[in-house]
């Protein structure tokens, strides 16, 4: 079987089937705002409360496909919003999308537009005006996000269903509705609103397991725990599994890359990965197709400002033989250790540079295959060949597979290997 065929085998199944194994985890610890960033919110009696200075309060982590479940309590006439796919800047109603949180019963809101009432997608789509409890009572809201599908249920009743692709076609100037990942945020207007029991169930890109197993692949991450993997712990649970996703928190500290307990010689590996947090803005070299770094008119390296995000897959226990996952101009798949090695020929350096950048937007899931045969390595990303039969002359004949921690939050899922 060709390595690219695994892309077809890992076809998406229905999101509904994935939800049969819901496993929620808290986004709010009930004590403080750990994991959140913003201003004008406090914790009172186990709830997050928006104060008169409340503006945006956003998760530090980013999310793609998930179910969000939370309780909220309105005060008479209050207004807030739930931001989804928020990129961390600008007005969340436009850079991301805002689901209204509003006291529908307040007389001062009686003349609002239909898309401004509770549960509606602000400026985009109205929700059903039902199921909301009066101010002073707790409501429960569930939001389901998966690709272009968005659903909202209030106190157990469906109030909104949307296809973001269709809405984007009708509103082409709205940038937020085009996004498929981002932070979750409360978008305040200084009105008092309380939030509690904020829990999330992240959902991994599903795989067609029967076909994958039939092709000879073995799942090396079971989706539930770190069985079969090892790392040097710093005392913090930086690596953990949740609902089919292998996550690294992004906490910096001692090196704690994750390694398979088994060793591998020749193999083909497939994995899904995505950035699960924000990176710092940095200026990094512009990489040319031949593997050299672009020189500007002043004779110095030309730099491009990027969001610094960095990880990788180690081959056969060797850090130099690393398939980079990062946000540099050349894209993921680069073999940095060989591209920057002065002892390597120009041909090898060029072959270690991706043919094109095929990464999806930051925060969205990518699918990668890596084929190792002898000392030759090939890589495909999102269905495109980016590295083709490059010879890594210092790569050991056998060793474990490693997932690198480099200080940014990252998710992995659907990690399968076939020994050749």
What ranges in 87-204 are assigned the alpha helix state H? 92-95, 164-170
357: tokens are 């950048």
> Sign of the C-alpha dihedral, residues 121, 123, 128, 134?
positive
- Number of CB atoms found within 10 A of residue 415's CB: 24
Which pLDDT belongs to residue 15?
41
Half-sphere exposure of 352 (CA within 13 A, CB side): 23
**What does each C-alpha distance from 217 to 40, 412, 420 come to in angstroms?**
51, 17, 10
Strands 366-373 and 267-275: antiparallel
Rounded (5°) CA angle 258-241-30: 120
- For the domain spanning 31-202, the CATH number is 2.60.120.560
Mean pLDDT, residues 253-273 taken together:
91
Residue 221 confidence (pLDDT) above 60: yes
Where on the phi/psi map is residue 77: left (φ > 0), alpha (ψ -120 to 50), or beta?
Answer: left
Q: How far is CA 286 from the centre of its chain?
A: 25
Does the model's pTM come out above 0.85?
yes
The superfamily CATH assigns to domain 5-13+208-419 is: Exo-inulinase; domain 1 (2.60.120.560)
How many residues in the chain? 420
Average of pLDDT values for 5-21? 40
Per-residue pLDDT of 18-35, as tens digits, reads 444 468 999 999 999 999
Give the pLDDT confidence score for residue 253 in this predicted structure.
65
Q: What's the pLDDT at 22? A: 60
DSSP SS3 for 318 = strand
Beta carbons within 10 angstroms of residue 361's beta carbon: 14
pLDDT digits (tens, 9 = 90+) for 165-176: 999 999 999 999
Contact 69, 167 (CB under 8 A): no
Lowest mean pLDDT among 8-17, 29-38, 59-68, 130-139: 8-17
Q: What is the mean pLDDT of the chain?
A: 92
pLDDT of residue 140: 98
Q: Where in the chain is the domain with CATH 2.60.120.560?
A: 5-13+208-419, 31-202
Find tokens 């928006």 and name the residue: 50
């Amino acid at each position: 079987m060709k390595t690219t065929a695994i892309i077809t085998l890992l076809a998406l199944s229905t999101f509904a089937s994935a939800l049969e194994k819901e496993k929620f985890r808290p986004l709010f610890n009930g004590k403080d705002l750990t994991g959140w960033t913003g201003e004008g919110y406090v914790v009172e009696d186990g709830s997050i409360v928006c104060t008169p200075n409340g503006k945006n309060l956003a998760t530090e982590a980013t999310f793609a496909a998930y179910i969000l479940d939370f309780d909220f309590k309105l005060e008479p006439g209050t207004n807030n919003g739930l931001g989804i796919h928020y990129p961390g800047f600008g007005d969340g109603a436009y850079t991301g999308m805002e689901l209204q949180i509003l006291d529908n019963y307040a007389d001062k809101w009686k003349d609002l537009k239909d898309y401004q009432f509770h549960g509606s997608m602000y400026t985009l789509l109205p929700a059903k005006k039902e199921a909301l409890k009066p101010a002073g009572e707790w409501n429960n809201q569930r939001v389901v996000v998966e690709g272009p599908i968005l659903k909202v249920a209030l106190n157990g009743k469906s109030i909104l269903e949307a296809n973001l692709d269709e809405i984007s076609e009708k509103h082409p100037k709205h940038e937020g509705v085009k996004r498929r990942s981002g932070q979750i945020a409360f978008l305040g207007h200084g009105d008092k609103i309380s939030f509690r029991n904020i829990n999330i169930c992240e959902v991994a890109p599903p795989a067609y397991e029967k076909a994958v197993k039939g092709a000879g692949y073995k799942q090396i991450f079971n989706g539930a725990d770190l069985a079969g993997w090892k790392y040097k712990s710093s005392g913090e649970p930086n690596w953990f599994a949740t609902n089919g996703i292998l996550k690294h928190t992004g906490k910096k500290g001692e090196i704690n890359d994750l390694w398979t307990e088994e060793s591998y010689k020749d193999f083909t590996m497939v994995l899904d990965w995505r950035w699960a947090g924000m990176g710092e803005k940095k200026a990094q070299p512009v990489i040319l197709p031949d593997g050299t770094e672009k020189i500007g008119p002043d004779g110095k390296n030309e730099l491009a400002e990027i969001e610094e995000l960095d990880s990788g897959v180690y081959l056969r226990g060797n850090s130099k033989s690393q398939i980079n996952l990062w946000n540099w101009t050349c894209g993921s798949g680069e073999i940095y250790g060989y591209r920057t090695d002065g002892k390597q020929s120009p041909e090898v350096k060029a072959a270690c540079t991706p043919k094109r950048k095929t990464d999806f937007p930051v925060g969205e899931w990518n699918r990668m295959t890596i084929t190792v045969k002898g000392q030759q390595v090939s890589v495909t990303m999102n269905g495109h060949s980016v590295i083709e039969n490059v010879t890594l002359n210092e790569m050991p004949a056998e060793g474990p597979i490693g997932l690198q921690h480099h200080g940014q939050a990252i998710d992995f899922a659907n990690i399968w290997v076939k020994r050749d």
